[in-house]
Each structure stands twice: as structure tokens, then as C-alpha cells.
Structure 1
Amino acid sequence: MNRTALTLPAAPASVGSSHWNLADPNGVRTVREMQEAAPDGGGFVTYITNYRLDRPGVWQKCVYVAMAGDDWFVGSGTCAE
């Protein structure tokens, strides 16, 4: 996996860039955690984010990730109120 974002609706300018070293305020390396969870049949990753399309703030986000082929994964999540 080359860890390049293929799509990111909350931050379209970052498509094509690597988020491998991205960490939330608690030090959770979000993409690394997702890459670890995906191959084992999929899994959940929870972290803090400030990316939310409908309003600014800091939110807890829970994402489900799963492998989509041999060398990339897909994830979808929601922010908690």
C-alpha cells in the first residue's frame, strides 16, 4: 500500500497526498490504525478529528475500514455528537 488518499470529501485538496504520519490530538495515528484494522476482516478505528463538513469543531469519529482488493482499503465513518 502506498498510503495515498484517493478521496476525502472533508479535505479534497489532500487527495493524492499521504496521511501516513497524521495523528489526532491524542496521538492516534489514524491511517496507521486503519491499515492495521483492515486486513483482519475489517475493523473500527476511533479518533478525534476537526474535519466535519456541516460545522466546525472537534469531534470523536468512528470509522469502519476493510480491505478492497489486495493493496488498498476503504473506510467510512461518522462523528459522534
Structure 2
Amino acid sequence: MEFKSPTSRLARLFRAGRDNWKQRALEKQKKLRALEIKVRDLSASREYWKNRAIAAEQRVPQENGEVFTEGKKMN
């Protein structure tokens, strides 16, 4: 493959193209890492609140049963 432009110009253009490619790749890696961290944090938060909701749902019937039991004892 033969280029018609001077080699110094070609070297400069190729180097600029490589540098631009590297910069875009680094930005994509940073964005990907940030999104992975966000997903990890949101998943942990969702799991935490899910467990709290399940625990609260299990406590409600127990507490309601105690109230009814105490009410029956008083009658």
C-alpha cells in the first residue's frame, strides 16, 4: 500500500488517530466501571429493602394475632 502524502504528515495523522481511539476507549472503560458500581450498589439496596419488607410482612400477622389474643383475654 503506497500513500501519496509525506510520511511525517501520515505519522502525525496516524498518531492522532491512535490517541483519539485510546482516549475514547478509556472514557468507555470509566463509564462502564461507573455503571457496574451503580448496578452493584442498587442491587444491594434493593436486596436490603426487599428483606426489610419481607420481615415487616412477617411481623404484621404476629402483631395482629397478639392484639386479637389480648382482646379475647379481656372479654
TM-score when normalising by structure 2:
0.19
Greater helix fraction, Structure 1 or Structure 2: 2
Q: Name the structure where strand makes up a greater proportion of residues.
A: 1
